[in-house]
A = this chain, B = another copy of it.
């Protein structure tokens, strides 16, 4: 990964997250990155290749964040960590995560698969704690995480921290 490659990736991430994929031209990306437009195509083939490079990094980062939850053995701690998940994401990475959410709608990418390990961990945790419908409980928490994430990244008026502690109380955590 050369320096200019990283500049391109950084510029593309910023613009895609702010304006959207289709609204961002390769010439804009090149200008912001301070490189010639042709270089984008040399390195990433086409505009979609540039996007894929960014999205792949997203999957990897998500796996790392999930690892902390999935490897946890105490079921209560699993649920607690899941609920407070959104609070853990770095403010500096907002653009990055915003893009992930944005593209789920703009390009109709289904994010279900990515959440599968988290769902399993939660389902397992609720099962251990004797809940009646562990899978539905898990699904509900994921719905919550997704909603909180959306709100935070979209800059909604919702107070995420208050919401998380509220839910923790509901689960006696």
Contacts and interface: CB of A to CB of B under 8 A. Distances in A.
Interface of A: 20, 22-23, 101-102, 104-106, 108, 110, 112, 133, 136, 139-140, 143-144, 146-148, 150-151, 154-158, 162-163, 166-167
B144 A140 contact: yes
Chain A binding surface SS class:
helix
A12 to B, nearest CB: 16
Given A136-B162, A166-B133, A106 B20 contact: yes
Centre residue among A104, A147, A154 by max chain B CB count within 10 A: A147
B110 A139 contact: no
Centre residue among A101, A136, A167 by max chain B CB count within 10 A: A136
A106 B166 CA distance: 30
A106 B110 contact: no
A82 B12 CA distance: 40
A28 to B, nearest CB: 13
Contacts of A154: 104-105, 108, 110
